[in-house]
A and B are shown apart, each in its own frame.
Chain A
């Protein structure tokens, strides 16, 4: 972990209501958090939105931070969960829009075409199942498998296995493109 040990202490202080500690902590962590959000979501706009979600909810969550793990690990966990929530909402919204007749069907088609035209990043990350998607985002963020496991609540071995699955998936995508 690149975050220095001070972060966890700052987080403890912030959990206790120290606004200054919270401000410093957030300032320090934001860019890194944004990077992870980008890797999780695959597009800048989505990453910005996810960051906003996290920032809005962070004070409440932090109040329950007990220092049981490093702050960075904890923050990544929050981010991964927030990403899950966002994706889930996207799915539900899409479902809610079903059954709106031809007009909506046409619209959906147009949207799909646009989505197809999006770059490889979105595609590659988008076709991965959630658990693989989270794992890949964390590992790309220079985390080793043990650290990623700590964030995801799985063992190091599971992370390694998932990474081999990721590689298989990516390979398949690439082959289908060629």
Chain B
């Protein structure tokens, strides 16, 4: 039987080239190099820095050039379009937040080709075949190496829905510290929650997040906790301790801060400049359309005396809406609706224009903020990333702050977002669904927009008489040097109205089995007080002040557990599992589920219930 298939097969067989010898050798060498790298250090170093490197800036540009020169890419487009599926997406509802809404339904144009591909892949993914790690596939130079950070290698058993050029800020896990050697632990607070949203989006997509994307402190800090409000001053501290669920020899110590909630009625007028990325890459259902919906939600929270302006940036930056009173809803909504995606990105020109507008709107006593909404692609027309950072820092000092809202997956440049928000004294949030927009922009609007303290640093000095070893869970990208604590010039995280910060330490009391043997020649025992675990210090600056204030408090050994700590512990364990930590022994996702369920509490907004669902999902995926 000779048919077209046989013709094709013959054609292929006769056209089959021998593999290029040089290329073959290079590929084999590459594989072996990566093999060796993998054996050597599965989790390896990335510079510990408060501000992640801005490595992402050039990347998008390269992608763009690839696009322009990829003939094969264009052929594939035409070919696939012919077999595309037309998706009908559900229409958005304004009802109570269904946190599991995946497709932000506002979408009009279904990404036909990609959907078709996803289905094709789905069939294969059923077999739980690990898809090739997308990051490793990026056409970086001629050779792709295994980056030494374990997390960069996606080991998700599924496929990313988009070309993946995501970059995550991460750092090696905090190591165990022996109290007699390093009694002092210093870090900057972090109220970002982007990591949790990324974890959620990945799990909801049926895949594990990249390990580097899991930042445990951001997961823990995602949830509202029931901490007592400060009676006086900007902060109240809340301490608690419990048995570590996954290690009988250690205790979990919680140090939490609760920021004061200034009277909302009396808040100063707000000047908001939305700086909106309308580059071609935003043209996806979970990007620009979701962004429009999100800002629409937020508008409802503003008052008549607040002002809104919109700047769009794509190939060229442009003012879309001049400063307008928030009461003119129709005008603002109309301007939002006119936004359309297309063109490259010029983040820098856009920023300049947004700041110029903010300056123009600024009046005595106002709070001004630029809200940058982007998928993190600042690629075209940017010559020097450091200039951009410096520029943002300079504007921060002049009183206009910057918050970053991240949208979409694929080329979300997490590291860049973090760096921009940290330099601009703002918060980086990742918005993957309308409920998340509601949480960030409606429920927590006050916190996002009104800082109550800046450069908030925490230092804990452990008492070697009571604590043998300790480990700070998370905050890897927020570590500070011990001497930075008292140096007011060193920038640190900021806290908005009503914000909470939760930090967990895993401590090994003296007398329990330790992981590190005591040194034979360091027998010097401490004469610290036996009823103190350590001493807690907090430094912060009131808004607009240059000099910091200090809060100090002894940490007694007699702390009781509480429900909030239990929930935080469950989330922290969940994060460690996602990071592939070996510290947890037999403690599993199902343990996390039962612990979180038991400590769920009132959970007014359903955030905790959602976390439990994610844990269960992770449990199923891991089987």
Closest chain A CB from B23 CB (angstroms) = 5
Q: Does A81 contact B (CB under 8 A)?
A: yes
A53 to B139, CA, bound (A): 9
A152 to chain B: closest residue by CB: B124
Closest chain A CB from B395 CB (angstroms) = 30
Question: Contact at A81–B159, with CB atoms within 8 Å?
Answer: yes
| Binding stretch for chain A, among B128-136, B327-335, B526-534 | B128-136
Sort chain B's interface into a size bin: 35 or more
Q: Does A46 contact B (CB under 8 A)?
A: yes
Taken residue by residue from 74 to 98, chain B's Cβ proximity to chain A (1 for < 8 Å, 0 otherwise) reads as 1111111011000000000000000
* Contacting residue for B132 out of A47, A61, A125, A171, CB 8 A: A61
Question: Contact at A112–B78, with CB atoms within 8 Å?
Answer: yes
Question: Contact at B73–A80, with CB atoms within 8 Å?
Answer: no
* Contacting residue for B32 out of A22, A48, A94, A136, CB 8 A: A22
Q: Contacts A84-B121, A136-B8; is A60 near B280 (CB within 8 Å)?
A: no
A129 to B64, CA, bound (A): 26
B162 to chain A: closest residue by CB: A92
Sort chain A's interface into a size bin: 35 or more
Main secondary structure of the interface of B (DSSP, over half): helix
| Binding stretch for chain A, among B110-118, B178-186, B257-265, B593-601 | B110-118
Question: Contact at B12–A111, with CB atoms within 8 Å?
Answer: no
Q: Does B99 contact A (CB under 8 A)?
A: no
Question: Contact at A152–B123, with CB atoms within 8 Å?
Answer: yes
Question: Contact at A86–B34, with CB atoms within 8 Å?
Answer: no
Residues of A near B64 (CB, < 8 A) are 96-97
Q: Does B519 contact A (CB under 8 A)?
A: no
Residues of A near B558 (CB, < 8 A) are none
B410 to chain A: closest residue by CB: A92
| Binding stretch for chain A, among B35-43, B167-175, B361-369 | B35-43
Question: Contact at B343–A100, with CB atoms within 8 Å?
Answer: yes
A115 to B82, CA, bound (A): 16
Q: Does B27 contact A (CB under 8 A)?
A: yes
Q: Contacts A30-B28, A39-B12, A59-B31; is A174 near B4 (CB within 8 Å)?
A: yes
Question: Contact at A167–B30, with CB atoms within 8 Å?
Answer: no
Q: Does B17 contact A (CB under 8 A)?
A: yes
Contact surface of B with A, Cβ cutoff 8 Å: 3-5, 7-9, 11-13, 15-17, 19-20, 23-24, 26-28, 30-32, 34-39, 63-64, 66-68, 70-80, 82-83, 111, 113-114, 116-117, 120-121, 123-127, 129-134, 136-137, 139, 143-146, 153, 155, 159, 162-163, 280-281, 283, 341-344, 410
Pairs A-B, 8 closest by C-beta atoms? A153-B127, A170-B4, A90-B73, A93-B67, A97-B67, A130-B120, A99-B342, A59-B35
Further 16 A-B residue pairs, CB within 8 A, beyond A44-B17, A56-B30, A99-B341: A31-B19, A47-B17, A52-B26, A52-B30, A56-B144, A57-B132, A57-B133, A60-B155, A88-B114, A96-B280, A112-B74, A114-B71, A118-B75, A125-B8, A131-B120, A167-B3
